[in-house]
Amino acid sequence: MARKSQKNAESESPEKNSLKTQSQGLPPSPPTLQDINDTLETNFMPYAMSIIVSRAIPEIDGFKPSHRKLLYTMYKMGLLTGNRTKSSNVVGQTMKLNPHGDMAIYETMVRLARGNGSLLHPYVDSKGNFGKQYSRDMQYAAPRYTEVRLEKICEELFRGLDKNAVDFTDNYDGTMKEPVLLPATFPSILVNANQGIAAGMASNICSFNIREVCEATIAYMKDPATDLLSIMPAPDFPGGGLILYDENAMRNIYESGRGPVRIRSKYFADKAHNLIEVTEIPYTTTAEAIIDEITELVKSGKVKEINDIRDETDLDGLKICIECKRGTDMDALMTKLFRFTKLEDVFSCNFNVLINGTPRVLGVSALLAEWVVWRRTCQKREVVYEMDKKKDKLHLLDGLAKILLDIDKAISIIRNTELEADVIPNLMKGFDIDSLQAEYVAEIKLRNINRQYILNRTADRENLSKEIKDLEDILKKPERLDALIIKALENAAKKYGQERRSELLKAEEAATFNDSNMIEDYRLKLFLSNHGYIKKIALTSLRNAGDLKIKEDDEIMMELEGTNKSEILFFSDKCNCYKVKGFELPDTKPSEYGGYLPNLLSMEEGERIIFMHIADDFTGNALFSFANGKISKIPMSAYETKQNRKKLIKAYSDLSPIVSIHYLTEDVTMAAFSNLRKAIVFDTSLIPLKTTRSSQGVQVLTSKRGSVMTEVKPLDQTGFTDPEYYRVRRLPAIGYYLKEETIESRQLTLGDL
């Protein structure tokens, strides 16, 4: 039989059967194919649902199952009012409800403890080393060395638990009962941060100030259309810090339940000792991670202002000391560190909460709405419980009142009853009362069988009747039920409220780091050629340079002096304006042609640059002259943009071909020429300033017989010996024919015209 069973086992085992066929030189049998859908449904889905519903996602009371089991165990151990006990004792008792390992339970306790600092309002009063939320390397002590008890705020979590406020269920082995939810009297789901990663989804809920949360909940209950942002403007993190406040982004989080909250560290600059002391960091990072990032920046040479960095965290709290070099602009350094390290970080909100066993991502108002509905149910169950208790007591007192009519008869019935089991039935018959009332009467002590005692007891009947009617009225009137909830919220806000730890700083007012701060700045000179080549040469290189190399048929049309961080405007003949920074242009040696602008600026086919301007402060005006005789004066500020735009279309009017562009810091005298060899001299103050870039301006030179304006230049470049002959006081003007005697170097000038 043994051999036979062994043979059958081998035949049923695929692995052994495969080895057997291989040993016999036979090919192995193909594996059995399984439908992936069936495998996922039978194997993966139960596991995924388990960790979503009963492990990783918090419920409307603000707790995951591991938190709830731990706190309830401590409550049953009497740690709400008693002395502290060893953490290992609590861990051991919690294992009756939580089937996971002892260290997993202890890690949950550590996060709930005051000593760790993970929660804005801790639930566990701790003694001993529980590590720190802001430290990666500061480890918590073993549970045998630490002691715990419940914080006073837990009274609000368990209030009503003994009044049937919530349902109870069996623990994992059916030997104990535990609450399905805790009847928290305030929205703890928003008061303390909660994070969890399930299968295919996650939850990341930030903490809010308890006073603001309670006030917002009260306002919402009174008017669901209340603007919650005006009451609780932003989250409040245990580690403090500065929240870079953007009202639109925050409103989106409140409405959708998702979005980023940017947090910046707080620091103090000690300029006398060249020290920066960081005392508060974002909730999402640790001091060691920040120090490592700053150290790496210093080693790579990206940050050269730091001599040393130290972690000086002690019993007084977090402190990161950054020792700077003498003369360092500490505020500018911090903006750089905010940009490249986790001294400024983002908390990504994802308000994913289990509502009746279903995970839902809710905004703040929707979350408060669900909490109010759930809390009303808890409060109603408490009222019903109290009413039933009072009704039971009134029922017993009604029976006692009947005894008052004839005490001697009751004593006689009890005395003349031979069997103890017949006492209750005989009392029921003698006074027409039920078994509960008879049992209550029979249990009265002999010393209490007097008229005074019975009168005192029955005097409570009227009060009980009034109280029962009042409770029934509460159940009938939702506003009275809400009043009880609001009273509890007001009590929690008054008793446990505290000032905000995280300050708000408007995002637009926060100093930010500009990439250009990392770029070396120096004086340079720009040369623009007719063929579209741009030369960028440092002044130090230009001093010892020889002739600039250009193509044979090319020539330099403009040259300007600026810095490597200057903003440069290039105007083309197709009404476009290209904007680049000096450092974006390639460095050029005097012996090179330079960069080709059509390629550098991604210009259109056949487009040509006709004017170049360095706009460090966008002051002054641009003068645009057109072939139809019109000239427009546009302020340079019209070309200043907040966004980093590289191209502005319709930079000037396209109704007539452009003749020339000039930059003016103040009004000057100019000369305009037509193809009929006519000219005028005019002051630019006669041309009004237009704020619209595409403005065509005003008529300056009147067209005759189809004439066009061919050139506009400053008076000192005309060579006029008698400029007053051509001067006009009013615009437009027909112009005056050129006289050779009024022009110096007549042959050259007339040839140019």
Beta carbons within 8 Å of 678's beta carbon, 6+ residues apart: 701, 704, 707, 734, 735, 736, 737, 738
Distance CA 600, CA 588 (A): 14
Asked if residues 163 and 313 have their Cβ atoms less than 8 Å apart, the reply is: no
Phi, psi torsion values for 367, nearest 5 degrees: -65, -40
Distance CA 280, CA 744 (A): 74
Beta carbons within 8 Å of 477's beta carbon, 6+ residues apart: none
DSSP string, 415-469: HH-SSGGGHHHHHHHHHT--HHHHHHHHTS-GGG-SHHHHHHHHTHHHHHHHHHH
CA distances from 618 to 390, 621, 654 (A): 82, 9, 23
Distance CA 647, CA 211 (A): 50
Token pair 């609780």 is found at: 232
Distance CA 249, CA 237 (A): 18
Residue 207 burial by Cβ neighbours in a 10 Å radius (0-12, 13-18, 19+): buried
Asked if residues 94 and 169 have their Cβ atoms less than 8 Å apart, the reply is: no
Active site residues: 145
Distance CA 268, CA 277 (A): 5
Distance CA 104, CA 106 (A): 5
Token pair 């081998």 is found at: 10
Distance CA 264, CA 259 (A): 17
Asked if residues 582 and 562 have their Cβ atoms less than 8 Å apart, the reply is: yes
The separation between CA 410 and the C-alpha centre of its own chain, rounded to angstroms, equals 74
Distance CA 662, CA 17 (A): 93
Backbone CA torsion sign across 40, 43, 49, 55: negative
Beta carbons within 8 Å of 311's beta carbon, 6+ residues apart: 287, 288, 291, 319, 320, 321
Token pair 């909250």 is found at: 261
Distance in Å from the first CA to the final CA of the chain? 122
- Please confirm whether the linkage preceding 732 is cis (ω < 30° from 0): yes
Residue 118 amino acid letter: S
Could you give the 3-state DSSP secondary structure of residue 648?
A: strand
